[in-house]
Structure 1
Amino acid sequence: MHRSIFNDDHEAFRDLVRNFLAKNVVPHFAEWEAAGKPARDFFREAAALGLIGIQVPEVYGGDGVSSYKFNAILIEEAARADVGLGTLRVHMDLVLPYLLNYCTEEQKRRWLPGYCSGDIVTAIAMTEPGTGSDLAGIRTTAHRDGDHYVLNGAKTFITGGFNADRILVVARTSPAAPDDRRHGLSILVVDTSTPGFEVGRILQKVGLKAQDTCELSFTDVRVPVNDLLGEEGEAFSYLSHNLPQERLTISVAAWSSAARAVDLAREYTAHRDVFGRPVASFQNTKFVLAECAVDVAAGQAFLDQAIESHDRGELTAADAAGLKLWMTEMQGRVVDKCLQLHGGYGYMTEYPIARLYADARVTRIYGGTSEVMKSIVAKSMGL
């Protein structure tokens, strides 16, 4: 179906992104997967074309464009090119809203120019061993010592943690209230060159092989009070405010993955012969591809409405949860069906459908599990 949310400027940006990925990412992606992380220079190369600072105000070196649609195009084109840009997505889609909304003017002038140039790569550290989606259960602590906080604790599953220069760390700066476990959490913007900060192993994952997902530890890390993001004790409300964009980002990636899977399966079955006929000529193949195509079309309508709503500032937490729930579940079933149509070759990693399959499984887990999304939607229904 025709997409009406993009104009000529968006399509020109799409061409720019497509050419950039073909030249700067696709030829090196296998190396990134082997290393477990993207090359550090990639961020500066992307920044040089203006891909990173799109939503940063011009006074700090960005383009000053508020719309999320350019971010969505970058995600869609990465899927089309059969590459993953998870670390960049965290930098652009997850971290930046915190910096724009909660930084002081002094902090913006200190961090955003480097952010836009690719000289400062960012990540965000919420999840801890044993906490999962229970953000109120965070045990990393930071106590005040003069003009510094002293940070101690550990984080896990941190995307971009290996390459990051600054990491937004959620820590407990005061005890939880008896009737409110969310009370007392703060966000500290940690310089990764600070003594006591350590990057542990890059975790070996089922998929997302080119994405540096790390364990982090903090041992008496001294963080200047001037690097507190926003108000002390208000982190939970900040996290809640920014989760809709995170879940929208996951949904864009899920839809893009499903759309790419259909294209791959359609192309493969058209050229693969079985019993003297193309696989695409069998009724079963036609019906499966039709089911998948309709799922993708329905997802496109749902997603585009959500993107427009987000640009208007109207995407609610419940809306984003419902979107992520439907989109990631749809991704899982579509990619699975499309791999099945590849037969045994679909299980071979040389075929892009295998990477899509491996990468798809985690989208129903990170950013809040499908079960958590159902709880959010149910609560919004008064249940």
Structure 2
Amino acid sequence: MDSAAPGPSFALTDEQAELQRVVRQFARERVAPRAEAFNARAELPLDLVGEMGQMGLFGLPFPEEVGGSGGTYLDLCLALEEIGRVDQSLGITLEAAVGLGAMPIYRFGSDEQRERWLPPLARGEQLAGFGLTEPGGGSDAGALRTRARWDGDAWVIDGSKQFITNVGTDVSAFVTVAAVTADDPREITNFVVPTGTPGYVVGQGYRKVGWHASDTRDLAFSDCGVPADHQLGEQGRGLANFLSILSEGRIAIAALAVGLIQGCVDECVRYAQEREAFGKPIGAHQAVAFKIADMEAAAQLARNQYRYACWLLATGQRFTREAAIAKLHATEQAVAAAREACQVFGGYGFTTEYAVGRFYQDAKILEIGEGTSEVQRMLIARDLGLPR
């Protein structure tokens, strides 16, 4: 009888454990002390982005021959969890730069396009955006109004996008854009639109509930022309290609959410040991201790799920359902953990003087970005064979 194929192991390799240690130290020593200042100013700390680039974080899942670090998607998720443990804004900057900005070039670009655009992204010297979401679309990702027409020697794009990350910084190089390229609205093709292209206008940004220090903009395209070699991937395959990018990205968002939950545990354990009420530390009261214990349980379970999805991805197996489960569970638990962490801190939790206040601001978007909780449930239901 043939032995069963080996199952997943959640044990980290020595190299992964070292990566985790290095990123955790960077997050605690370089990011955490400045996180609230950048949050208050709604300013992305580009110097820290540069340091992350020098550490090789932006190139983690890409091979060395294209300027990457030669790691895996799990390596990226480990880094996201550690950064997100102290600052979600910087965490989503890394996640969007790698998973949404650079990954479409790596997955669907030609050899020439990879050579041209991927190395500076993998080194963290440039950032790129992912232009799918539109004002009238939301969760209906295929309902695109942005159009691209061939005009003899160039593709000319007209339309708009919203809630796009990393397109308005001093190091933003381009955005990849999904646009309808035929009378049939189902024919969608992707394009690379460099920053500064005539007809491409980057908006001023949003007043957001959370993720204050990340860069989020709306985009407009008016007679915006790009040459033929800026078409990314096969014509008509744009939506399918972008949706596959989102499937991978859901694992990364789950890792970011786990970072938030673990950050809540870190802050609450420290505070519950120091803060006293009724003659003893508040952590000695079961009402507080049980809240923190539930947060730790949530973090452990969500971490196991995203690592399982990473294992499926790495071994070439279907991972769509598991990625949706990872994102759904981790993000909803992150919202619950942030709420309970603020309760542990009492009035102080309603300020951003403490990290739990920022976590409370940042948590909700995790249930929305890269596919809402409702979309994740829809994907899970469809994968179970339930009727559409």
TM-score of the superposed pair, with normalisation by structure 1: 0.92
Q: Which moves more between the two structures, 312-321 or 331-340? A: 312-321
The alpha carbon displacement at 1:294 in A equals 2.1
In structure 2, the residue matched to 1:33 is 39
In structure 2, the residue matched to 1:312 is 315
Deviations 1:192-245 (Å, cap 9, x if unpaired)? 111111111211110101111101111111111101000111111102222221
Unaligned runs of 5+ in 1: none
Q: 1:243 and 1:268, CA in 2 relative to 1: closer, same or farther beyond 3 A?
A: same
Given the alignment, which residue of 248, 272, 277 partners 1:274?
277
SS at match of 1:201: coil
Given the alignment, which residue of 40, 50, 57 partners 2:63?
57
SS at match of 1:222: strand
Are the aligned partners of 1:143 and 1:151 in contact in 2 as well (CA < 8 Å)?
Answer: yes
The alpha carbon displacement at 1:173 in A equals 1.1
In structure 2, the residue matched to 1:188 is 191
Q: 1:258 and 1:20, CA in 2 relative to 1: closer, same or farther beyond 3 A?
A: closer
The alpha carbon displacement at 1:30 in A equals 4.1
SS at match of 2:44: coil
One-letter identity of the residue aligned with 2:323? A
SS at match of 1:190: strand
In structure 1, the residue matched to 2:300 is 297
In structure 1, the residue matched to 2:96 is 90
The alpha carbon displacement at 1:373 in A equals 1.2
SS at match of 2:162: strand
One-letter identity of the residue aligned with 2:101? V
Are the aligned partners of 1:33 and 1:210 in contact in 2 as well (CA < 8 Å)?
Answer: yes
The alpha carbon displacement at 1:49 in A equals 2.5
Instruction: Verify: 1:155 aligned to 2:158, yes or no.
Output: no
In structure 2, the residue matched to 1:13 is 19
Q: 1:174 and 1:346, CA in 2 relative to 1: closer, same or farther beyond 3 A?
A: same
- In 1: Cα distance, 2:234 partner to 2:297 partner: 46
Q: 1:219 and 1:350, CA in 2 relative to 1: closer, same or farther beyond 3 A?
A: same
The alpha carbon displacement at 1:23 in A equals 5.5
Q: 1:111 and 1:263, CA in 2 relative to 1: closer, same or farther beyond 3 A?
A: same
In structure 1, the residue matched to 2:75 is 70
Q: Which moves more between the two structures, 262-271 or 113-122? A: 113-122
Fraction of identical pairs, as percent = 32
In structure 2, the residue matched to 1:174 is 182
Given the alignment, which residue of 187, 203, 207 partners 2:210?
207
In structure 2, the residue matched to 1:346 is 349
The alpha carbon displacement at 1:100 in A equals 1.4
SS at match of 1:259: helix
One-letter identity of the residue aligned with 2:225? R
Are the aligned partners of 2:31 and 2:86 in contact in 1 as well (CA < 8 Å)?
Answer: no
Instruction: Verify: 1:104 aligned to 2:110, yes or no.
Output: yes
TM-score of the superposed pair, with normalisation by structure 2: 0.91
Q: Would you say how many aligned residue pairs link Structure 1 and Structure 2?
A: 375
Given the alignment, which residue of 328, 333, 336 partners 1:330?
333
Are the aligned partners of 1:197 and 1:221 in contact in 2 as well (CA < 8 Å)?
Answer: yes
- In 2: Cα distance, 1:342 partner to 1:41 partner: 32
Structure 1 segments of 4 or more deviating over 6 A?
none
The alpha carbon displacement at 1:61 in A equals 2.2
